[in-house]
Amino acid sequence: MAVKAFIICAFLPWLWQIGSVWISPYRLVLILAAVPCIFMWLSGRAGTIRAADISICFYCLWCFISLSVVHGVDAALQPAGTMTIETAGAYFLGRCFIRTPEQFHAMSRLLFWIIVMIFPLAIIESVSNTNISLDVFSTLFPTHVVAENIPRWGLRRVQSVFEHPILFGVTCGAILALVHLVVCERASPVQRWGATGVVLVTAALSLSSGPITALMVQILILFWDRVFKAYPKRWRVLWILLLAMYGMISLVSNQSVPEFLMTHFTFDAASANYRTLIWHFGSGSALNHPLFGVGFNRWDRPEWMPNSIDMFWLYHAVLFGIPAGLLMILAFLMMVIPVAFKRGLEPRLVQYRTAYLAVMSGYFLVGWTVHFWNATYVLFLFFLGSGSWLLDTGNQHRKTSRDGPGAIPNRRPSGRLSSRPYATESGGLL
């Protein structure tokens, strides 16, 4: 119930003011779920305590320390509390309440049907230049404002219920691999590609290069898995090719690899140049204030440069110090890498793992070109935590499969058979 409420509320744009604090629906759910999550985590009901868990906790602690140093303890309490609810609250909700393949499937299915409902409204917004979603929701409660929107190719960049078209594209596109490999695991090819196409088109209506790049990453992973499924070393080969491409760019380009990607995978040259400036001046600001960052003060940049830091993986180091940036990246890697190397999974779970890692790969790449905030941020951390069950499920299956009750079934659940065979154990990304 908590997961369903959180996912639905993440797509509700309402804002309620309580005193000096603005409360959104998803924040309310995270506050209510905080105590159950803490109990489940500490009692072991959410599996073994992981390095990623500790990294998230230390990230929240360091943000409070840095804000206290920069602004004072009294001024740090409210923003640090909000940050803890959105960071640790969202992560541990996925970490504690998604513990079985069935729960992971139900989560993915709910997200898909929300995108299906958004799809026609997104098309209307794209061609009519009217945000129907916010217009409807604002009749009940206050919502965030309609973002300034410059058309591309004669179409409006769809914002829908989010603060910006980029956030719309990132959030909707994030579930593409989940829909293809989890929701439609036993669907016909027409159904599977039709459902995947709905997600693809919906996210692409953001007309933003970052989200579309994340979509392409997921499609590449799905394509590679499908074409080379019979080759057990396919993921190692893919990593070798990616590392070779990285080395080639480093050798032949006069730009760093991040700068090369930012300038060559964008629709707008001005936007690409701005992101390069963010990388240059933002990393410089982080080095100038390495321990505690600048907090909510002005970060080091030219007077003419806007305040936004459109780079998620850099943002934390600039505002809260390099330790905060490293802890966020460490939390990501300490969840994703163990899942990628997990052995002993049954074929169905290997397919689920591939979907999870494809989603995380898209998030990782797009995080170098855009920033995640509000609902997009909490959904990212929720997704990150939602894959932790894979680290326990294989061992649990081997332990209980001989005991009957409590074991994860080794047969396919009832329903329409998939038109493609399940993946083999080597179906992870490493």
Question: How would residue 413 be classed by pLDDT, with cut points 50, 70 and 90?
Answer: very low
Total of domains in the chain? 1
Distance CA 202, CA 171 (A): 10
Residue 368 lies in a domain: yes
What one-character-per-residue DSSP string does 286-347 give? HHHSTTT--TTS--S--TTS-S----HHHHHHHHH-HHHHHHHHHHHHHHHHHHHH-----H
Read off the pLDDT of residues 112-154 as tens digits, 9 standing for 90 and up.
999 999 999 999 999 998 999 999 999 999 998 888 777 787 8
**Would you state the torsion angle of the CA atoms of residues 414, 418, 421, 424, taken in this order, to the nearest 10 degrees?**
-60
Question: Is the pLDDT reported for residue 49 higher than 80?
Answer: yes
Statement: residue 184 has pLDDT above 80: yes
Alpha-carbon span 158 to 35, nearest angstrom: 37
Q: Report the pLDDT averaged over residues 47-59.
A: 97
At how many degrees (to 10) do helices 25-43 and 90-97 cross? 50
Interval 181-205 mean pLDDT: 95
In this prediction, residues 55-63 reach a mean pLDDT of 98
Residue 252, classified by CB atoms within 10 Å of its CB into exposed (0-12), middle (13-18) or buried (19+), is: exposed
pLDDT attached to residue 264: 67
Its sign, for the CA torsion 247, 211, 144, 12, is negative
Least confidently predicted of 118-122, 351-355, 403-407: 403-407
Report whether pLDDT(73) > 90.
Answer: yes
Residues whose CB is less than 8 angstroms from the CB of residue 108 and which lie 6 or more positions away in sequence, other chains included: 175, 178, 179, 182, 183, 355
CA 309, distance to chain mean position in Å, is 18
| 3-class DSSP state of 141 | coil
What is the pairing mode between strands 16-18 and 21-23? antiparallel
How far is Cα 231 from Cα 108, in angstroms, rounded to an integer?
28
In 3D space, the residue among 105, 264, 252, 118 whose CA is nearest the CA of residue 187 turns out to be 105
Q: Does a structural domain hold residue 379?
A: yes
The type of residue at 38 is: I
pTM: 0.89
Q: What is the pLDDT of residue 268?
A: 65
Planar angle of CA 333, 286, 168, nearest 5 degrees: 60
Rg (CA), the chain: 21
Flag whether 234 is in a domain.
yes
Q: What percent of the chain has pLDDT over 90?
A: 71
Task: Tell me the helix, strand and coil percentages in the chain, rounded to 5.
Answer: 65, 0, 30
Higher pLDDT, 260 or 29: 29
Report d(CA 313, CA 67) in Å as an integer.
19
pLDDT, average across residues 253-260: 75
* Residue 57 token pair: 């906790």
Tokens matching residue 218: 């997921």
Mean pLDDT calculated for residue range 266-289: 85
What's the pLDDT at 265?
64
- Residue 222's pLDDT band (boundaries 50, 70, 90)? very high
Quote the pLDDT of residue 410: 40
Tell me whether residue 354 is in a domain: yes
Please check whether residue 123 lies inside any domain of the structure: yes
Asked whether the beta carbons of 293 and 319 are under 8 A apart, the reply is yes
Token couple for 285 = 């600001």
Which residues, other chains included, contact 127 with Cβ-Cβ below 8 Å and sequence gap of 6+?
155, 156
166 Cβ partners below 8 Å, 6+ apart? 206, 208, 210, 211, 370
The position carrying tokens 């080095």 is 287
Ramachandran category for residue 273: left, alpha or beta (phi over 0 → left; psi -120 to 50 → alpha): alpha
User: Above 80 in pLDDT, residue 269?
Assistant: no
pLDDT surpassing 50 at residue 283: yes
Instruction: With respect to residue 134, please indicate whether it lies within any of the assigned structural domains.
Output: yes
For residue 426, being part of any structural domain is answered with: no
Q: Which residues pair with 393 in a beta bridge?
A: none
Percent of the chain with pLDDT over 70: 89
Domain range enclosing 285: 2-400
Q: Per the domain annotation, does 177 fall within a domain?
A: yes
Maximum mean pLDDT: which of 27-36, 127-136, 223-232 = 27-36
- In this prediction, residues 256-277 reach a mean pLDDT of 73
On average, the pLDDT of the chain sits at 88
Mean pLDDT of 30-49: 95
* Backbone φ/ψ region at 86: left (φ over 0), alpha (ψ -120 to 50), beta: alpha
